[in-house]
C-alpha cells in the first residue's frame, strides 16, 4: 500500500492551482441520470471518489467517457435501478443516485450505507423527504427501495441541515408533479452548483444558497455542458499549510467567496491574506496565534477543515477550543497528532488544543480523508520524518496532493 513520506520544516513558497470540487462533482455527475443526451463536464478532479461514481453510473447502464479532466455521460441507456453494496460501501455519496433514479425510472434500490469513521451518518432525512414526495419506501436485506410512478411536489422541512440530503431531494423533485419547497435546506456552494446545472438542464429551481429552495417540477431535462467549481476544502487546506509553515503561497483558480470563514480564522491566527479575483495569496505570520473554532453548516466554519486547522492550533501560541458540531466522531486525528507531540484534550465534541513549540515526526495513519490531510500538514512542520499510511483516503478526495506540495518546496514523496 502507498505511503507518503515527509521531511518537515520547509517553508512553502510558490503557486498552486486548485482542482475541481469533489463534493460538487459527485452530485452533478449523478444528475446526468435525469437527462437524455450527452452531458459534458470539465474541471472534474482525478480522484478515487470520481472513479467510484463513474463505475456506479456505468453499472446502471450509462455510457461514461473520461479523460484529462473532462467527463462525458450519456444516460440514454440507463437500464438498472440498483446501487449495489460493493459500491456504496466504498463511497457513501453513492446514495445520491436515489433521488435521480426514482425521478427518472420510478424506482431505486440502493444499499444502505453503514456508519463510517466520522459518525453514524444515517440517511433517514433523505428517506423521510422522499416519502413526503410520495415515494413508497421499504427496507430489506440492507437495501432501501423507493418507488413512485411519479413523485408529487410537497413542502419538506429538514430537521438537520444535510448537504447530500438537500441534493438528493432537489434531484428527485425536479421531475415531480407540482412544486416542492425545501425548508432548512443546506446552503453549501455545492448545492448551488448542482442547482445551477439542473437549471441549465431545464429545471426550475430558485432559492439555492438559502435555507428555502423552491423546485417547480418539469416533464423532462436535457443534457448540458458545465464546469465543476473549484474545491473550497482543497483551497482551505493549502491556505492553512501556507500559514502553518510561515510560507508565501499564491493559490490560483479558486473561489475566494466560498472560503470566507477559513480566511477569517487564518487572519485571526496571524496570517496575512490577499484576495484578487480568483487568486488568494497567503503569507504566514511570524507567529501563529490561538483562535477558537466551531464547525457549522455553510457559511460557518466547515467540518471538512476542522482537522487541518487543528494542526495549526497545535503549534500556535496559547490555547484553542475546537468544537465539532456536525459529526459526532470527527476527532480521530487527535490521537495521531498526540503521537507527534501535540497537546490536545478531548471532552465530548470539544477539543482543547494547547500549542506546543514543535511537533516531532513519526509514522501515522488515519481512517478518514480530512484526517489524513491533517496528518500531511502535521508532517510539513514536524521535525524529521513523518510517514502517512493509508494514503488511499487522500486519493479519494485530493488530486495530486503530494505533487502539489512538492511544487511548493515541501520535501514530500509517495512510496509504493
What is the x/- site pattern for ligand EPU, positions 366-395, by CB under 6 A?
Answer: ---xx-------------------------
By CB under 6 A, residue 45 contacts ligand EPU: no
Q: How far is the CB of 226 from ligand EPU (least distance, A)?
A: 17
Among 31, 32, 111, 164, binds ligand EPU (CB under 6 A): 164
Judged by CB under 6 A, the stretch of 139-147, 157-165, 267-275, 401-409 that binds ligand EPU is 157-165
Judged by CB under 6 A, the stretch of 145-153, 163-171, 252-260, 383-391 that binds ligand EPU is 163-171
Among 313, 326, 342, 394, binds ligand EPU (CB under 6 A): 326
Q: How far is the CB of 193 from ligand EPU (least distance, A)?
A: 11
By CB under 6 A, residue 121 contacts ligand EPU: yes
How are beta strands 221-222 and 35-36 bridged, if at all? Answer: parallel
How are beta strands 279-283 and 248-252 bridged, if at all? Answer: antiparallel
Q: How far is the CB of 207 from ligand EPU (least distance, A)?
A: 18
Judged by CB under 6 A, the stretch of 132-140, 141-149, 155-163, 332-340 that binds ligand EPU is 155-163
CA dist 407 and 410 (Å) reads 7
By CB under 6 A, residue 115 contacts ligand EPU: no
- Which of residues 298 and 405 has its CB atom nearest to ligand EPU in the complex? 298
Specify whether the CB–CB gap between 154 and 148 falls below 8 A.
Answer: no
Judged by CB under 6 A, the stretch of 116-124, 171-179, 220-228, 266-274 that binds ligand EPU is 116-124
Q: In what order do the strands lie in the sheet with 411-415?
A: 363-365, 385-389, 3-7, 411-415
Specify whether the CB–CB gap between 234 and 251 falls below 8 A.
Answer: no
Active site residue 254: no
- Which of residues 120 and 319 has its CB atom nearest to ligand EPU in the complex? 120
- Which of residues 121 and 252 has its CB atom nearest to ligand EPU in the complex? 121
- Which of residues 164 and 314 has its CB atom nearest to ligand EPU in the complex? 164
Judged by CB under 6 A, the stretch of 161-169, 257-265, 272-280, 399-407 that binds ligand EPU is 161-169
Map the footprint of ligand EPU across residues 1-30, applying CB under 6 A. Answer: 23, 26
C-alpha cell at 137: 419506501
* Contacting positions for ligand EPU (CB under 6 A): 23, 26, 93, 119-126, 160, 162-165, 190, 303-304, 326-327, 369-370, 397
Active-site positions read 116
Amino acid at each position: 500500500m502507498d505511503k507518503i513520506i515527509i521531511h518537515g520544516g520547509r517553508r512553502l513558497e510558490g503557486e498552486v492551482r486548485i482542482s475541481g470540487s469533489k463534493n460538487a462533482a459527485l452530485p452533478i455527475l449523478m444528475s446526468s441520470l435525469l437527462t437524455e443526451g450527452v452531458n459534458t463536464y470539465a474541471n472534474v478532479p482525478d480522484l478515487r471518489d470520481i472513479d467510484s461514481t463513474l463505475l456506479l453510473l456505468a453499472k446502471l447502464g450509462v455510457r461514461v467517457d473520461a479523460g484529462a479532466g473532462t467527463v462525458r455521460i450519456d444516460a440514454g441507456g440507463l437500464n438498472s435501478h440498483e446501487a449495489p453494496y460493493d459500491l456504496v460501501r466504498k463511497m457513501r455519496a453513492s446514495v445520491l443516485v436515489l433521488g435521480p433514479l426514482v425521478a427518472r425510472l420510478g424506482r431505486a434500490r440502493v444499499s444502505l450505507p453503514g456508519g463510517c469513521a466520522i459518525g453514524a451518518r444515517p440517511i433517514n432525512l433523505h428517506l423521510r423527504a422522499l416519502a413526503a414526495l410520495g415515494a413508497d419506501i421499504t427496507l430489506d436485506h440492507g437495501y432501501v427501495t423507493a418507488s413512485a410512478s411519479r413523485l408529487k411536489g410537497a413542502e419538506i422541512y429538514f430537521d438537520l441541515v444535510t448537504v447530500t440530503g438537500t441534493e438528493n431531494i432537489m434531484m428527485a423533485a425536479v421531475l415531480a408533479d407540482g412544486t416542492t419547497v425545501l425548508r432548512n435546506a443546506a446552503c453549501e456552494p455545492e448545492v448551488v452548483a448542482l442547482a445551477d446545472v439542473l437549471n441549465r438542464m431545464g429545471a426550475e429551481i430558485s432559492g439555492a444558497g438559502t435555507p428555502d429552495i423552491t423546485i417547480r417540477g418539469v416533464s423532462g431535462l436535457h443534457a448540458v455542458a458545465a464546469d465543476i467549481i473549484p474545491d473550497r476544502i482543497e483551497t482551505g487546506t493549502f491556505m492553512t499549510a501556507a500559514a502553518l509553515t510561515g510560507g508565501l503561497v499564491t493559490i490560483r483558480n479558486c473561489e475566494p467567496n466560498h472560503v470566507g470563514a477559513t480566511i477569517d480564522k487564518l487572519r485571526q491566527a496571524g496570517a496575512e491574506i490577499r484576495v484578487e479575483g480568483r487568486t488568494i495569496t497567503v503569507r504566514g505570520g511570524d507567529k501563529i496565534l490561538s483562535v477558537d473554532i466551531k464547525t457549522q453548516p455553510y457559511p460557518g466554519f466547515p467540518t471538512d477543515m476542522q482537522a487541518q486547522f487543528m494542526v495549526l492550533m497545535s503549534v500556535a501560541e496559547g490555547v484553542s477550543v475546537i468544537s465539532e458540531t456536525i459529526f459526532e466522531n470527527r476527532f480521530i486525528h487527535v490521537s495521531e497528532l498526540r503521537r507527534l507531540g501535540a497537546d490536545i484534550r478531548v471532552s465530548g465534541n470539544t477539543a482543547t488544543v494547547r500549542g506546543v513549540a514543535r511537533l516531532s515526526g513519526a509514522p501515522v495513519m488515519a481512517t478518514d480523508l480530512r484526517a489524513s490531510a491533517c496528518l500531511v500538514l502535521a508532517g510539513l512542520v514536524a521535525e524529521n520524518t513523518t510517514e502517512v499510511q493509508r494514503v488511499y483516503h487522500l486519493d479519494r478526495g485530493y488530486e495530486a496532493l503530494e505533487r502539489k506540495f512538492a511544487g511548493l518546496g515541501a520535501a514530500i514523496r509517495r512510496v509504493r
